[in-house]
Amino acid sequence: MRKLTTLDNKLRIITQRMKVRDSVSVGVWFGVGGRYENSQNKGIAHFMEHLAFKGSRNYSCEQIKQQVEGVGGSLNAFTSEEETCFYAKVPRKHLNKTFDILSDISFFPQITKSDLEKERTVILEEIKMYHDLPQYYVMELLEQLLWPNHPLGEGLAGTSQTVSNLKQADLKAFQQHYYVPDNVVVSLCGDIKHDEVVDVIAKKLAHLKGHKPDRYIPARKTQDTPTGRFYTKDTEQMHLALGFLGYETNHKDYYVLALLSIMLGGNMSSRLFNEVREKRGLAYSIGSSFKSLDDTGVFMVRAGVDNSKIESALDVILKVLRKVARQGVTADELKRGKDYFSGQFLLGLEDTMDHMIWLGAGLMSRDKINTPEIVVQKIQAVTLADIKRVADEILNPQRLNVSLIGPLDEKLESQLRVVAGLSR
């Protein structure tokens, strides 16, 4: 049974009791991420995530790791465009101690100068690593095209320059501004009792005061000219990414786009997998996905392609997308897409960690959580006409953005631009 409590200081606590589970998963979510930054402090949210584990008011770095891992649990965190989450999965008898650690590192990190300098070096190496891995860097190039001159178009880790310039005072000010009760969701899943959990959290955090943090800079939802970014690098494989601006999280066609993504490239029976890999052998990896944010979104296709076949692969991918936009999909494809979505969704919710993330991310981004039954109903309600309408809108050639990394020369780049309908 799912329950939600809001403390007097606006901190929200959501739980899902999952009986006959040995594990409990807990996440402390903050409504802040990469898009809340600017050109001077880009990467600061990710930096804060790293520093939190270096030590807090009551726990040293060694204690943080040992007291969770020492009982068989796992502890980690992630930063996204709109959220930062500190989370753990432990045997349920260790929940109280684990939450004390999680809340302490997230609300009361030490942020010492020595830790800052050590972690700065680590993050600078992380940035270099991502730039050295074309399958990751191609996505950063794509985001620059999707959201130019905007925080969403810049890497979450920041740049070497911004990370090098961040000071202790910058990090403390950022943490004090955004890591406040008004901006927090605590989500828990497992064989737990809501009222008992609320008492534990309230004793630790109910006294905290806060404020409503600043909002982010709005991002664009549409474009009227296709764009491309080609990066020459001596690689054994071409790394290709296509992106179309999509829908925001609460858009009425969110689930229509989710199904479209599955049918185009979400599994081995999808159109792109069959046409690009199975029938023609043009790529080893090929797939599609979508991401929704508070005010914008993106539908993406990614592929790893033989260097000699990149022109043919891009041509086939675009033809598949255009055909679906023009003709839609078949009734059989739609049924299989619905069954696949529903099955994957419901299977994922059996795990306490996946369920905790679904609750926390959903409440943070949507301010409400649909029941699994409602989600399945929304999926089942999608029609062939819905798919065709959304495909026609999203897969518009004028909304196309193409990024590519590989051993390019001027002639090949020119040919690829013609195939994609891009101007020089």
pLDDT digits (tens, 9 = 90+) for 19-35: 999 999 999 999 999 99
Query: Do 169 and 297 fall into the same domain?
Result: no
Do residues 329 and 307 lie in contact, with contact meaning Cβ atoms separated by under 8 Å? no
Write out pLDDT tens, residues 208-263: 998 889 889 999 988 999 999 999 999 999 999 999 999 999 999 999 999 999 99
pLDDT value for 368: 82
CB 383 within 8 A of CB 221: no
Q: If 0-12 CB within 10 Å is exposed, 13-18 middle and 19+ buried, where does residue 135 land?
A: middle
Q: Looking at the structure, tell me whether residues 192 and 94 fall in a common domain.
A: yes
Catalytic residue flag (residue 311): no
H/E stretch holding 196: helix 194-205
> Mean of the per-residue pLDDT values for the chain?
96
Q: Is residue 220 part of a domain?
A: no
Q: DSSP string of 67-125?
A: HHHTTT-EEEEEE-SS-EEEEEEEEGGGHHHHHHHHHHHHHSB---HHHHHHHHHHHHH
Residue 20 lies inside a defined structural domain of this protein: yes
Taking residue 373's Cβ as centre, other Cβ atoms within 10 Å add up to 9
In a domain, 115, yes or no: yes
Domain CATH code at residue 282: 3.30.830.10
- Give the range of the structural domain holding residue 21, as residue numbers without chain letter: 2-205
Q: 79 forms bridges with which residues in the sheet? A: 84
Q: In this structure, is residue 221 part of a structural domain? A: no
Q: Are strands 237-245 and 297-306 parallel, antiparallel or unpaired?
A: antiparallel
Write down the pTM of the prediction.
Answer: 0.94
Is 215 contained in some domain? no
User: Does residue 219 lie within any of the structural domains?
Assistant: no
pLDDT score for 424: 56
SS3 243: strand
Catalytic residue among 37, 49, 82, 154: 49
- Per-residue pLDDT tens listing for the chain (424 residues): 899 999 999 999 999 999 999 999 999 999 999 999 999 999 999 999 999 999 999 999 999 999 999 999 999 999 999 999 999 999 999 999 999 999 999 999 999 999 999 999 999 999 999 999 999 999 999 999 999 999 999 999 999 999 999 999 999 999 999 999 999 999 999 999 999 999 999 999 999 998 889 889 999 988 999 999 999 999 999 999 999 999 999 999 999 999 999 999 999 999 999 999 999 999 989 999 999 999 999 999 999 999 999 999 999 999 999 999 999 999 999 999 999 999 999 999 999 999 999 999 999 988 888 899 999 999 999 999 999 999 999 999 999 999 999 999 999 999 999 999 996 5
Same-domain pairing of 287 and 364: yes
Give the Cα separation of 187 and 361 in Å (integer). 9
Residue 193 is predicted with a pLDDT of 96
Same domain, 186 and 237: no
One domain for residues 178 and 238: no
